[in-house]
């Protein structure tokens, strides 16, 4: 293990900084324990003792040696992308007691004046697809795998920037109200040799059972000016999560609350001379086993700030994010969106949800009763007997009274039952990850005598940093495979398809370009009667250079009867490594859905003032239809414009004022049909007390609406 004094000797600090670091090293080593080496069945994984403290430290970002007596010290961080030591060194002390976990980190930096710390407000990070939740600022993140299953995306992440801004990632989902999801504290300080951060995480937030526990732990630091990520422990060039450190024998006190949490809502609005409102509540009870029950009565059912969907053409429905607490909380314990999509459930009378872990099993059950008297139920059982081998079973049931409206294209059914079972296996092969998945399922609906069977399999080989990749998929979807509450497009039913993707990725260390790749993709799908449903050929490449510059190109040829499409896409992005100042321009043109097609998009973020952030998006779409086209028999040109501008002023880290203005031209040439819409709002998200949201306007409407609404939320 490298010691702190070794890091100091190769750092080019001013003399005063050097003296500070030497004193820091001497004091810290006098109170730090060494790691216990890997032994036994854990293979290459480190085994960490609890490092118990007599009293919890004061969270102020100041190193006080007496407070950390008995802590565990680690400093052998590693850049897994480049298989080398990091440019800037990091030292962390870890400790525990019966209430929670504690961390103190010393993040050395030769250029502390170049630390990036733009973000002021506390954030809740979320995965989008398979993207890693992150910030564009300098940060250090303490990742806790509370289940110790070493699942991908299965660890809590507690992230702090040099400014002291907190961001957290709850792997199974949580509501935005801080008191509801649990609170943790952090403090940071910058000096001439880098920055410190101190963190306290209570066990109650991790959903741990009372008694002795072992959790997985890893630490990640990001230095944006170097575009360099370093991690502890060293999980190898392939970043093998089975080698995460095991923090053993944690003595967890009672995490159950004597009384359940109650989150009350109150919403009132005035629209067009009419006034209405409603109240509701959610109830949350955590048991000593770590499992959780959530119930709701007339819950909050609105997404108060809906996304503005772009004009880019899509054959299928676009998925919207759901911010409603009842559906967000623990959503990864339940079936995926293609089986159970929360937006299919609108206003509700009430519902209940139960989820948690029992050893290496994860279970989740949900039921909701909406105001159309439809009962929606879902359940998921997940079992991981050994690392990298996963089993999963999903059940979704929808029961509706006769003649209940359903979404377009889905058969009218009173009962719809869906069952899906999966098995997943992965392994490391040098710097490559091999991944296999097999899925089977069936659906049964009232009055539907179709096949209703699903079978699909995937095989993937992906590189960690550089090298070739291969993805092969095959699927059969029977005509009756109809998840009425799912996001699966009705046009996808009744088909057999196969696809293959070949790619090559290259990453470079300390060069002008950071990443480069090229992919070729072939997909073919036919109906059960032998007719072609879809055939697609795609070639794309992507390059990322220093300074956040990105360039991508895609050429696609697609046959989807009765249409034959081809498009060419070019995208250029700048400052993509900066959250509030990134921008980009893209253009897609070609022949799409039987018409000449052009889409131009321009995005730009602005952060010229300390507390003010802004963004703007412009889109122009043109379609030139030939005479006799099914969508426009008379033919002609259809032009559409969309402009979206957003501004936010942060009054404090917990209070902000924001506004958005949108303009949409529907392409009819009639000025009266052009649509302006917008809103202005005040938002308060506080650690303790009322969360408050005041809005003038309606972001869900197509045009400006005279509406004033106020929403208050409090946890008891």
Mean pLDDT by 10 residues, the chain (716 residues): 30 38 41 38 72 94 92 92 91 95 97 92 66 74 92 89 94 87 94 96 90 94 92 82 90 83 91 86 89 89 57 67 82 91 85 92 95 93 93 95 72 84 91 92 74 90 88 91 81 88 90 90 93 96 91 96 95 92 96 95 91 94 93 90 92 91 75 75 91 87 85 91
Same domain, 215 and 137: yes
Same domain, 56 and 204: yes
Same domain, 209 and 342: no
Quote the pLDDT of residue 17. Answer: 39
CB atoms within 10 A of CB 512: 9
Domain's final residue, options 493, 509, 534: 493
Q: CA nearest 422: which of 481, 509, 497, 335? A: 335
Residue 609 lies in a domain: no
Quote the pLDDT of residue 583. Answer: 96
Q: CA nearest 607: which of 582, 624, 637, 643? A: 582
Do 73 and 158 touch, CB atoms closer than 8 A?
no
CATH of the domain at 118: 2.60.40.1190
Domain's final residue, options 237, 252, 267: 252
Residue 164 lies in a domain: yes
- Tokens 């046959």, located at residue: 559
Exposed, middle or buried by CB within 10 Å (0-12, 13-18, 19+), for 104?
A: buried
Q: Cα dist. 300→283, 495, 585 in Å? A: 13, 39, 37
Quote the pLDDT of residue 315. Answer: 62
Quote the pLDDT of residue 302. Answer: 59
Residue 525 lies in a domain: no
Same domain, 89 and 228: yes
Quote the pLDDT of residue 465. Answer: 78
- Three-state DSSP class for 68? helix
- Measured in degrees and rounded to the nearest 5, phi and psi for residue 208 equal -80, 150
**In three state form, how does the secondary structure of 339-359 look?**
CCCHHHCCCEEEEEEEEEEEC
Predicted model pTM? 0.86
Same domain, 207 and 288: no
Residue 372 lies in a domain: yes
d(CA 714, CA 298): 15
Same domain, 331 and 434: yes
What's the domain range around 176?
Answer: 4-252
Q: Give the DSSP letter of residue 33.
A: B
Same domain, 203 and 287: no
Do 606 and 614 touch, CB atoms closer than 8 A?
yes
Same domain, 240 and 353: no
Same domain, 246 and 364: no
d(CA 507, CA 517): 9
Exposed, middle or buried by CB within 10 Å (0-12, 13-18, 19+), for 31?
A: middle
Helices (H), 90-214: 178-181, 203-206
Quote the pLDDT of residue 409. Answer: 62
Residue 511 lies in a domain: no
d(CA 455, CA 421): 10
Domain's final residue, options 493, 514, 539: 493
Same domain, 226 and 342: no
Establish whether the linkage from the previous residue to 423 is cis, with ω within 30° of 0: no
Quote the pLDDT of residue 444. Answer: 86
CB atoms within 10 A of CB 480: 19
Same domain, 114 and 64: yes
Residue 502 lies in a domain: no
Same domain, 292 and 213: no
Quote the pLDDT of residue 160. Answer: 96
Sequence-ordered list of residues with C-beta below 8 angstroms from that of 420, at least 6 positions apart, any chain: 335, 339, 393, 394, 439, 440, 441, 454
| Number of structural domains the chain divides into | 2
Q: Give the DSSP letter of residue 534.
A: E
Do 125 and 132 touch, CB atoms closer than 8 A?
no
Q: Give the DSSP letter of residue 132.
A: P
Sequence-ordered list of residues with C-beta below 8 angstroms from that of 41, at least 6 positions apart, any chain: none
Residue 237 lies in a domain: yes
Residue 274 lies in a domain: no
């Amino acid at each position: 293990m490298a010691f702190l004094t070794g890091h100091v000797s190769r750092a080019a600090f001013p003399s005063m900084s050097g003296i500070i670091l030497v004193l820091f090293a001497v004091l810290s080593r006098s109170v730090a324990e060494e790691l216990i080496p890997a032994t036994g069945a854990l293979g290459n994984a480190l085994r960490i003792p609890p490092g118990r403290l007599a009293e919890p430290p004061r969270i102020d970002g100041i190193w006080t040696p007496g407070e950390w007596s008995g802590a565990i010290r680690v400093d052998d961080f590693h850049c897994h992308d480049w298989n080398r030591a990091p440019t800037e060194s990091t030292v962390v002390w870890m400790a525990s007691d019966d209430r929670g976990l504690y961390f103190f980190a010393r993040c050395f930096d030769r250029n502390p004046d170049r630390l990036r710390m733009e973000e002021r407000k506390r954030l809740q990070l979320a995965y989008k697809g398979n993207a890693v939740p992150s910030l564009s600022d300098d940060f250090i993140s303490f990742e806790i795998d509370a289940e110790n299953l070493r699942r991908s995306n299965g660890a809590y992440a507690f992230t702090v920037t040099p400014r002291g801004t907190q961001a957290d990632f709850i792997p199974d989902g949580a509501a935005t109200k801080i008191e509801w999801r649990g609170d943790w504290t952090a403090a940071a300080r910058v000096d001439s040799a880098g920055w410190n951060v101190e963190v306290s995480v209570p066990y109650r937030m991790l959903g741990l059972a009372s008694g002795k526990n072992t959790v997985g732990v890893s630490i990640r630091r990001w230095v944006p000016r170097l575009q360099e990520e370093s991690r502890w422990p060293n999980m190898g060039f392939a970043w093998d999560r089975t080698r995460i450190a095991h923090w053993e024998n944690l003595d967890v006190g009672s995490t159950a609350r004597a009384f359940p949490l109650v989150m009350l809502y109150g919403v009132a609005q005035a629209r067009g001379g009419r006034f209405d409102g409603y109240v509701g509540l959610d109830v949350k009870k955590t048991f000593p086993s770590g499992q959780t029950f959530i119930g709701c009565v007339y819950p909050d059912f609105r997404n108060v700030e809906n996304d503005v969907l772009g004009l880019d053409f899509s054959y299928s429905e676009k998925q919207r994010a759901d911010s409603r607490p009842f559906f967000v909380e623990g959503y990864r314990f339940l079936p995926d969106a293609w089986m159970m999509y929360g937006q299919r459930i609108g206003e509700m009378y009430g519902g209940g949800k139960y989820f948690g872990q029992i050893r290496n099993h994860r279970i989740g059950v949900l039921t909701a009763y909406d105001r159309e008297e439809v009962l929606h139920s879902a359940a998921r059982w997940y079992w991981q007997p050994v690392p990298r081998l996963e089993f999963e079973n999903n059940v979704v049931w929808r029961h509706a009274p006769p003649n209940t409206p359903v979404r377009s294209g889905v058969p009218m059914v009173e009962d719809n039952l869906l069952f899906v079972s999966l098995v997943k296996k992965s392994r490391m092969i040098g710097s490559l990850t091999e991944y296999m998945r097999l899925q089977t399922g069936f659906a049964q609906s009232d009055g539907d005598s179709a096949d209703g069977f699903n079978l699909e399999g995937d095989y993937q080989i992906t590189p960690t940093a550089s090298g070739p990749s291969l993805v092969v998929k095959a699927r059969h979807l029977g005509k009756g495979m109809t998840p009425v509450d799912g996001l699966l497009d009705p046009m996808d039913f009744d088909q057999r398809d196969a696809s293959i993707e070949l790619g090559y990725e290259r990453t470079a260390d300390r060069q002008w370009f950071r990443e480069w790749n090229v992919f070729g993709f072939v997909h073919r799908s036919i109906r059960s009667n032998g007719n072609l449903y879809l055939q697609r050929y795609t070639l794309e490449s992507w390059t990322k250079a220093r300074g956040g510059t990105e360039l991508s190109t895609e050429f696609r040829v697609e046959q989807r009867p009765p249409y034959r499409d081809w498009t060419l896409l070019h995208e250029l992005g700048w400052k993509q490594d900066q959250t509030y100042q990134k921008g980009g321009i893209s253009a897609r043109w070609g022949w799409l859905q039987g018409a000449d097609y052009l889409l131009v998009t321009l995005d730009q973020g602005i952060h010229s003032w300390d507390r003010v952030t802004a963004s703007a998006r412009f889109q122009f779409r043109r379609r030139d239809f030939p005479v006799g086209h099914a969508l426009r028999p008379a033919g002609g040109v259809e032009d559409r414009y969309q402009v979206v501008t957003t501004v936010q002023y942060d009054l404090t880290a917990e209070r902000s004022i924001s506004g958005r203005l949108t303009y949409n031209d529907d392409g009819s040439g009639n000025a009266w049909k052009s649509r302006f819409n917008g809103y202005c709002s005040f938002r308060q998200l506080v650690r303790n007390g009322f969360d408050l949201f005041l809005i003038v306007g309606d972001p869900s409407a197509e045009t400006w609406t005279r509406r004033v609404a106020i929403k208050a939320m409090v946890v008891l």
